[in-house]
Structure 1
Amino acid sequence: MSAIRVMFIGRSPNLASTRVRVANLLEPLSHRGVRAELHILPRLFCERLKLFRKSAAFDIVVLQKKLLSPLIFFFLRQASRCLVYDFDDAVFVRDAFGFDNAAKIWISKSRQRRFKRTVRNVDLVLAGNAYLENIARKFNPNVAVLPSPVSLTNHPTRNDFPDNPKPVVGWIGSRTTLKYILSIESILARVAAVHPFELRIISDTPCSVATLTCHHIPWSLEQQDLEIAHFDVGLMPLSDDPWTNGKCAYKILQYMAAEVPFVASAVGMNVEVACGNTTGYAVRSDREFADSLIKLLDDKALRRQMGEAGRAFVEQHYTVEVIADKLTGLLKNLVSS
């Protein structure tokens, strides 16, 4: 088969999901017979129509995460030979952290309508995890799980560096997710009273934790892997709700790539990548969270064992190369069918 041409349409080159799930895969796809291009969705209606007209030159168009208005989606569908929808968040609900799961505030009828319309009318859906796959499958039988990949090229690991003077517990995220690390402030304070540690937070926004000394590290694409590799334990606390179940455990995959064990809430995909608590701990209560963190802080050998197991798991299932192979197969099958 000759090389297939694929147009990815994303919202912004700076958006994490577009960078991780599209931009990082373009070169690996080119080595597998897929000539892929990333195009950013314009803001103006007329510019969007110009972009869609270009799609006729491509075998496949992949709409990445964006839920379009009915009219704009109609024009895209009409212009595309094969149309794929890729998403890695629960885009069909609101992020309503702090509200009861039964509360109607989670429900967004406009998001639900756009999501259903999109999924029903594409040729293939790529979902970031099994929870998202199950939701999409209600409206389209042609759904595949495509995890978010991690690049291991020149990726530093914890074992590349000497011991920290005091164990480092770390978290990486953005201003929109700082609420999750702040939600376990009292747990971290209790743990620090038993086993002192240094807390590092990598974020685009400074964060202060009232009961602990917190070292803020400004996020940068170039330095994030190096900073994570200096963690002794990574954290991924989450609430358990319709929004967080759609998360694809990317923080944890970053920790695992750096051979850093983790403590995470047992929510959604976090449980899957914990591998029965062999790569890190997926916990269901505040007490489990504290106990698991203390256990890792107390045992350097356990941290190393879990970190190495996590790295091996990522190498087997979540590298850019592994995900590029899977995506190539899905796209080529779509064209041939």
Structure 2
Amino acid sequence: MPKVLFLSRYARLGSSSRLRLYQYLPYLQEAGIDVTLAPLFGDDYVRSLYGGKIDKLSVLKAYVDRLGFMLRAARFDAVWVEKEMLPWVPAWLELGLFPAHAPLIVDYDDAAFHRYDQHRLSLVRTLLGRKIDSVMLRADIVIAGNEYLANRARNAGAARVEILPTVVDMARYGVAASGAGGQALPTIGWIGSPATAQFLHLIAPALREVAASNLARVVAVGANADQLGDLPVTALPWTEATEVTVIQSFDIGIMPLPDAPFERGKCGYKLIQYMACGKPVVASPVGVNSMIVRDGVDGFLATTHQEWVSALTRLIADRLLRQQMGREGRHRIENEFSLQKAAPRLVRLIESVLE
């Protein structure tokens, strides 16, 4: 049985690690892969991160533990890494501590390289600006969540680049009747984390205009109430156990994004979640959003204030259109963004490194 070491950034509570690794575990184990999980940061760290209080000693311990796994990596048949092994450590040191001949798979679901090459400090840009490129170059396979990330890997000289989008488990994501939340008004919903809740302010005027009409309510799942300021938005808590049920209570899903380098590397997961539940979407045409949303078919792409207001008011007023777009979106996700389709492919990619 081949042994693979999985060096994820987080444990299951971290969304990127949960989606890019943990939901695949049953498929990997069924394929006969002996999985060793070694997240850099545990769930307590994620809770502290979103709460704004990080224990520096726990971070130091995490790095020491990670270093131990890196030094033992040669005992495994392959190593899967989420983004990088030691964040904020130069590539020459990180890769120097990693066995030279250990087969390496690296996975990216966001533009982690822009945290360095777009950093405000020139020292960081100088020391780390090409770090991720060096990791990509060292990898036997780079698995990228979209074309933007894949293109960076190709430009870095990666030996092999494969695109595997972020996906949802269709066994979890069912379609509920419109208005499943029991609300008198249609619900415009957003789901995410405190790290991305700020993007709701990009469409603040549109949300205010729609809310002022008293024709819909707006909710934000996973945002802290104090982040929303005077937005006409109700903050709701996020848990993995309830996220699907909450999305099913939406009538429309939204994903505003700024057109900036880091955001161009996002994988559009919110849209995939909404569409998997049969909900029409309205999104900024940034990065992969423009590929996921077929404008006028399963949702609308909106840039200007008027485009956002027009798209939202049209969907609010037309229940049949919401249902039609929702069906189209659900079908798209089943065929192109489902765990059931992606899992066998990830297994094959890992097995190809083991050969």
TM-score by length of 1: 0.89
Which residue matches 1:99? none
Which residue matches 2:14? 15
Corresponding residue pairs, total:
326
In the alignment, is residue 88 of structure 1 matched against residue 87 of structure 2?
no
1:149-205 Cα offsets, whole Å, 9 max, x none, are 211224342327376310100111111111101221101122334562111110151
In the alignment, is residue 74 of structure 1 matched against residue 109 of structure 2?
no
Contact conserved, 1:261 with 1:307, CA < 8 A, in 2? yes
Contact conserved, 1:169 with 1:199, CA < 8 A, in 2? yes
Which residue matches 2:155? 138
3-state SS in 2 of match to 1:234: strand
Matches within 5 A, 1:1-337: 3-13=1-11, 14-41=13-40, 43-44=60-61, 46-66=64-84, 68=86, 69=89, 70-78=92-100, 81-94=102-115, 105=120, 108-139=125-156, 140-159=158-177, 161=180, 164-194=183-213, 196-206=215-225, 207-210=227-230, 212=232, 214-336=233-355
3-state SS in 1 of match to 2:114: coil
Contact conserved, 1:257 with 1:311, CA < 8 A, in 2? yes
3-state SS in 2 of match to 1:85: strand
Give, in whole Å, the separation in 2 of the partners of 1:329 and 1:67: 23
Q: Match for 1:189: what amino acid?
A: R
Name the % identity.
Answer: 30
1:111-163 Cα offsets, whole Å, 9 max, x none, are 42211211111111011111110111101141111111211224342327376
Residue 246 of structure 1, CA deviation: 0.5
Which structure 1 segments of 5+ residues have no match?
97-102
Give, in whole Å, the separation in 2 of the partners of 1:34 and 1:277: 43
Give, in whole Å, the separation in 1 of the partners of 2:296 and 2:354: 40
Change (3 A) 1:32 1:159: farther
3-state SS in 2 of match to 1:243: helix
Give, in whole Å, the separation in 2 of the partners of 1:84 and 1:50: 19
Residue 18 of structure 1, CA deviation: 0.7
Change (3 A) 1:25 1:265: same
3-state SS in 2 of match to 1:62: strand
Give, in whole Å, the separation in 2 of the partners of 1:248 and 1:162: 27
Change (3 A) 1:204 1:237: closer
Give, in whole Å, the separation in 1 of the partners of 2:298 and 2:346: 26
Change (3 A) 1:211 1:64: closer
Give, in whole Å, the separation in 2 of the partners of 1:123 and 1:279: 37
Residue 276 of structure 1, CA deviation: 4.1
**Which structure is higher in RCO with an 8 Å CA cutoff and minimum separation 6?**
1
Give, in whole Å, the separation in 1 of the partners of 2:302 and 2:104: 39
Change (3 A) 1:308 1:178: same
